[in-house]
């Protein structure tokens, strides 16, 4: 792989890292909103949906880091 393509991939990793950080920020906000709900609402359909959203966003953020970013880094290092 030439230097220009490696630079492009490095730039993409940086952009993906920023995206992951943004997802993490949304997760934190949603978790805080969930934590501030009264216990009765936390256990309601609304609370369940919020928790599922948090879990799904965490899965997306983890996949970005452990799958996409790591694989691109492996390509750069090869």
Q: Could you report the per-residue pLDDT of 37-75, keeping only the tens digit for each?
A: 999 999 999 999 999 999 999 999 999 988 999 999 999
Long-range CB contacts (within 8 A, 24+) of 56-65:
57/23, 57/26, 57/27, 57/30, 58/27, 60/23, 61/20, 61/23, 61/24, 61/27, 64/16, 64/19, 64/20, 64/23, 65/20
pLDDT single digits (tens) 9-43: 999 999 999 999 999 999 999 999 999 999 999 99
For the entire predicted model, the pTM comes to 0.86
């Amino acid at each position: 792989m030439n230097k220009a393509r490696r630079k492009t991939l490095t730039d993409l990793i940086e952009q993906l890292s920023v995206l992951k950080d943004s997802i993490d920020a949304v997760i934190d906000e949603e978790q805080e909103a969930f934590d501030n709900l009264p216990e009765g609402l936390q256990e309601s359909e609304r609370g369940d949906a919020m928790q599922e959203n948090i879990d799904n966003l965490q899965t997306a953020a983890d996949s970005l880091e452990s799958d996409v970013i790591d694989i691109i880094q492996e390509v750069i290092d090869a």
